A = this chain, B = another copy of it.
Amino acid sequence: MARPTVHDVASVAGVSLATVDRVLNGRAGVREETVNRVQSAIRELGYVRDTSAANLARKREYRFAVVLPQDSSQFVATLKDALTEASASHIADRISVKIKAVLPEDPHAVARELHALRAAKPDGVAIMAQETPQVRDAISRLKADGIAVVALISDLPSSERDFFVGVNSEAAGRTAALLMGRFVRRSTGKVLAIANSMVSRDSIDRRLGFDTVMLREFAGLDVLPSVETHNDPDRVRAIVRHVAAIHDDLVGVYSMGSGNRYILDAFREIGRLHDLVYIGHELTPRSREALVSGEIDAVIAQNVGHLARSALRVLRAKCDDVAVFEAQERIRIDIVTRENLP
């Protein structure tokens, strides 16, 4: 009835505690035959290591680092808060988290930070960055040092990262398209797709997903070529005025990046905010306000609290070489409207 312990395993396998310990912790000096005996005893009893007791005995401390882009975006700020909160609630689990901010759009800065991190010998690193050869290389070195690595928000698929904590951007774009197509009441018209920058893989994938669904299901709506704001208010204003002037049949705006501020401001200035369907990404204090006021119709979001906790859990699992509980770590694509605001 009670949970079996190493003692039970030892007596069932007919060996001493020390041998069970050697097998469990992969230490040398045990004949293969004995290893098998111990392992079948483990299976027979359904023994599972008591991680909390093990961590206690080990005085284990998980030291994690999170590399985030150092930009003023509210999304990154809320993510940072969530990480801080999550690590605070995890002090009991012996997890400490250091947050490192690096200049975004500079692959060398990220690689430098990752390189610097190696010296601190953390147990795991979560990285939110664009995939570049430099970053891939730095991750490779971290892995060589035996450090757990997870990609956060943006996947780094061709790197050696252990796991990706985030959502499928293409599906997020498809979801945005579905809402756009269904929220727009007219069957024809133009849709503006606007992003901070279209060099990031996420933006590209979102656009891809968006176009897929728009073409397939809402062929009457015409998605204009993506425009880039580069986070410049003047540029945004110019673009918006230009687009609105040229296309008198503009019916919707899809803001692919997390920065909605300047875009909203520009549309508000020309008094078009309430008659356009506006779909954006990420829930921030500002986008929340805009949802409530009806300026934004829906936001495609990922729960930052979930992201933060998930990243820490996955890193810990990778450190302990334990299977990740996939169902719990699958980040959902949240659709947030003014009525289901969390």
Contacts and interface: CB of A to CB of B under 8 A. Distances in A.
A340 B337 CA distance: 15
Interface residues of A, number: 44
A178 B292 CA distance: 13
Interface in A284-318: 297, 300, 303, 305, 309
Given A303-B332, A305-B328, A332-B303, A92 B178 contact: no
Interface in A309-342: 309, 325, 327-328, 330, 332-335, 337-340, 342
A85 to B, nearest CB: 7
Interface stretch (A51-59, A107-115, A140-148): A51-59
B182 A52 contact: no
Contacts of A151: none
A27 interface: no
A177 interface: yes
A56 B297 CA distance: 51
A interface: dominant SS: helix
**Chain copies in the assembled complex:** 2
Contacts of A185: 185
A313 to B, nearest CB: 11
A207 interface: no
A309 B171 CA distance: 26
Given A56-B52, A56-B56, A92-B52, A177 B339 contact: yes
Nearest to A335: B335
Contacts of A92: 48, 50-52
A338 B171 CA distance: 10
Interface in A76-118: 85, 89, 91-94
A152 interface: no
Interface string A171-198: 1101101110011010000000000000
29 contacts: A3-B94, A48-B91, A48-B92, A51-B92, A52-B93, A56-B56, A85-B327, A89-B325, A89-B328, A171-B339, A171-B340, A174-B339, A175-B337, A175-B339, A178-B339, A182-B182, A182-B183, A182-B297, A213-B339, A305-B327, A305-B328, A332-B334, A332-B340, A333-B339, A333-B342, A334-B334, A334-B340, A335-B335, A335-B337
